[in-house]
Amino acid sequence: MTRSRRPLRPLYRPDDPPRAERDIGRPGEFPFTRGVRRGGYRERLWTMRQYAGYAGAAASNRRYRALLEQGQTGLSVAFDLPTQIGYDSDHPFAAGEVGRVGVAIDSLDDMETLFSGIPLDRVSTSMTINATAAILVALYAAVARRQGTPPERIAGTVQNDILKEYAARGTWIFPPGPSMRLAGDVIEWCRRELPRFNPVSVSGYHMREAGCTAAQEVGFTLAAGLAYVGEAVARGLDVDHVAPRVSFFFNAHRDFLEEIAKFRAARRLWARLLRERFGSASPRAQMLRFHAQTAGSTLTAAEPEVNVVRTTLEALAAVLGGTQSLHTNALDEALGLPTSDTARLALRTQQVIAFESGVAATTDPLGGSWAVEALTDELEAEAEAWITQVDRLGGAAAAVESGFVQARIQEAAYAYQQDRDAGREVVVGVNRFAREGAGTPVEPFAIDPAEEAAQVEAVRRARASRDGVAAEAAVVEVRRVAAAGGNLMPPILEAVERRATVGEISDGLRAVFGEHRDG
C-alpha cells in the first residue's frame, strides 16, 4: 500500500497495463509519457535549483553566490512572509517575521542588492511568490534593465499560482476574482515583454505537503493549469503561444514507483487535455515541463541524518520521472532553515545522481516496466476523474471557492495520519526502529536578530531618499488602473522604478480589491 493508499500488486505481468503499448510513445513525442526531450538528460541535464533565502538581501546574495560557485545551475528565491502578503518590514504585522522563512524584499534597492554580482542574462531565476507576484516580477525586470539585460534574455519562473494558496498554503491577499485578474495580467504581460520567462508555475507541491494523494496532486494541479490557460485564451492569446511558458511544480514524495509513474501520468494527461480542450496544435505547447522538490513533510526531526537517505530516493524518483528542474531538501529542514553545510550536501546529492549514478545516460530507463506502466495508467485515470469532479463544480477557481479541494485534501491527510498513528505507515526512527534517548545532533541555523532591525531601517532609508511625490503618484496610478481595468503590470513596473515599496503598492491594490477572508 502506498502513502496514497494505492494497493501494489505482489507481481506485475505483461498484460497488466493494457494501454501501455498504445500510449507510451517515444520520448519527445506526443503524449510525452516518456519525457519531453528525445535524448532526455543526454541533451540537457535538469537545472539544479536550490531554494534559498533568509534575512536581508545582502545575506541571501552571499548564499546564492556560494551555491553558484559550488555548481548550482539556477537560483530559487524564497521570500519572507511579509513580502509574500504585501507588508513592508516596518509594518506592525511584520514584526517577528522579517527574514524568517525567506528573504525580505521591500523595494528596488533590496532587489538590486539581492542580485548584485549575479548577471541575469546568464542565470535562470525561480521566484516562489504568489499574491504579490506582479510586484516581484516588476522588480526583477527593473533590476535586469539596470544591469543592461535585454528583456528577451531574461529567463526564469514566477510561481504566480494563487489558486493553490486558497487550497493549501494561505498566503493570499485579495479575493479570488481580482487575484485571478492579477495572475492573468502577469501571464499576458510576460508573453509580450519577457518571452523567455515562465509567468506561472502551477503548484501541486503544497497540496501534497498538506496531505493530498498523488492522484489528487496531479488532478487538482492540472485543473488549475487549465484555469490559467483559460484565463489567457479568454484575453485573446493563442494557446500555442501561452502554454509553452506554463510550467508546473510537483512534490517528489516517498513512494518511489508511484512518484515516477505520477510524473509520467501528468505529462500524458496534460498533453491530451490541451489538445482536447483548447485545440492545441503545437507539440511544444503540449509538453508538460516541471520543477520538483523533495518532500518536506517526510523529513523528521528525530535522527535528521536519515533525511539524507529519504531525500536521495525522492530526488532519484524525480529524475527517473523526467523532471526539468530539482530542489533537494537539506537534512535539517525539519528543524529550521538549512545551514550552508547542509545546503551544500543537498546540492551534492543532485550532483552524485547526475554524474555518478548513470541514470542520466538513457531516457526514461523504467519505461516499459510492467509495474511502472500499470501505475501510470492508474494514476492518469484517477487524476482525470478528479478533474471531472472539478469541472462539474465550474472549474478550479469555483472548486476552491466552494471548499471542495480543501475538504478532499483534509480527508486524505486525516486518513494518512490515522495509518501513521496505527503503525500501518512506517516512519523509520519515529514509529519504528526508534532509538531511546536519541538526540538531535544537528545545530539548526539561527538568524541574527539584528537582521530584522537592519531591514526595518533599510526600508525607512529607502523611503527617505527617494522622490516621494513621484512614488506616491505612481501608486495612485496603480489604484486607478486597478479600478478602471487594464493590465496592471505597466503601472506596477513604473511604481517600482519610482521606488514605491511592496507594501505601498499592495496597499494601493487592497484599497480597490479588498482582502480575502477565509470561511
pLDDT at 247 over 80: yes
> Which residues, including other chains, have CB under 8 Å from residue 19's CB and lie 6 or more apart?
377
pLDDT at 15 over 80: no
* Rounded Cα distance, 133 and 127, in Å: 8
pLDDT at 518 over 80: no
Average pLDDT over residues 16-40: 81
For the entire predicted model, the pTM comes to 0.94
* Rounded Cα distance, 392 and 408, in Å: 15
CATH topology of domain 33-421: TIM Barrel (3.20.20)
Range of weakest confidence among 51-60, 195-204, 463-472: 51-60
* Rounded Cα distance, 400 and 420, in Å: 28
Per-chain mean pLDDT for the chain: 93
pLDDT of residue 472: 98
Please, which contacts does 6-9 make with residues 24 or more away whose CB atoms are closer than 8 Å?
Answer: 6/213, 6/214, 6/215, 6/255, 6/258, 6/375, 6/378, 8/257, 8/371, 9/371, 9/374
Burial (CB count <10 Å: 0-12, 13-18, 19+), residue 269: buried
Other beta carbons within 10 Å of 485: 8
pLDDT of residue 88: 98
pLDDT of residue 277: 97
Q: Do the Cβ atoms of 103 and 80 come closer than 8 Å?
A: yes
pLDDT of residue 24: 82
Q: Do the Cβ atoms of 491 and 500 come closer than 8 Å?
A: no
Average pLDDT over residues 395-408: 96
pLDDT of residue 5: 74
pLDDT of residue 404: 97
pLDDT of residue 186: 98
Residue 20 banded pLDDT, cuts 50, 70, 90: very low
pLDDT at 433 over 70: yes
Domain ranges (residues) in the chain: 33-421, 452-513
Average pLDDT over residues 162-184: 96
Average pLDDT over residues 88-114: 96
pLDDT at 438 over 70: no
Beta-strand runs (E) in 8-95: 47-52, 74-78
Residue 78 banded pLDDT, cuts 50, 70, 90: very high
Residue 21 banded pLDDT, cuts 50, 70, 90: very low
pLDDT of residue 16: 65
Range of weakest confidence among 22-26, 389-393, 425-429: 22-26
**420 vs 4, which has greater pLDDT?**
420
**115 vs 343, which has greater pLDDT?**
115
pLDDT of residue 399: 97
* Rounded Cα distance, 378 and 215, in Å: 9
pLDDT of residue 17: 55
Cα-based distances in Å from 292 to 32, 256, 324, 420: 17, 14, 8, 25
pLDDT of residue 434: 86
DSSP per-residue letters across 194-231: -TTEE-EEEE-HHHHHHT--HHHHHHHHHHHHHHHHHH
What single-letter DSSP state applies at residue 79?
Answer: B
Q: What are the phi and psi torsion angles at 488 (to 5°)?
A: -85, -10
Tens digits of residue pLDDT in 291-311: 999 999 999 999 999 999 999
Cell of 223: 485543473
* Rounded Cα distance, 105 and 151, in Å: 22
* Rounded Cα distance, 348 and 15, in Å: 40
